Amino acid sequence: MSKKQSGASSVGGALGSALKEICYFLTILFCALRACGVSNWSWFWVMSPIFFSWVLALVCLGIVGLITAIALKDD
């Protein structure tokens, strides 16, 4: 693996890890606000950062799969 590929994958891994941590932090924050009565959001919206992270991951995987399929078709 070249340095360029290694650096790109480490940046992608760091970005994904940071996004995951932000989503979990927001979920914990929203749960605490809901439990303390500060917010009267439904539980769906309280848990939405976790749903968002899963949807975002699935969309990214779909895009990568589509690009891979197109690249393999051209060969």
CB-CB contact of 51 with 70 (8 Å): no
In the chain, the number of structural domains is: 1
What pTM was computed for the model?
0.65
Sign of CA dihedral 37, 39, 45, 50: negative
The residue-averaged pLDDT of 1-30 equals 75
Look up the domain containing 61 and give its range.
Answer: 3-74
CA distance between the termini of the chain: 22
| Identity of residue 59 | V
The residue-averaged pLDDT of 39-56 equals 90
The residue-averaged pLDDT of 13-34 equals 89
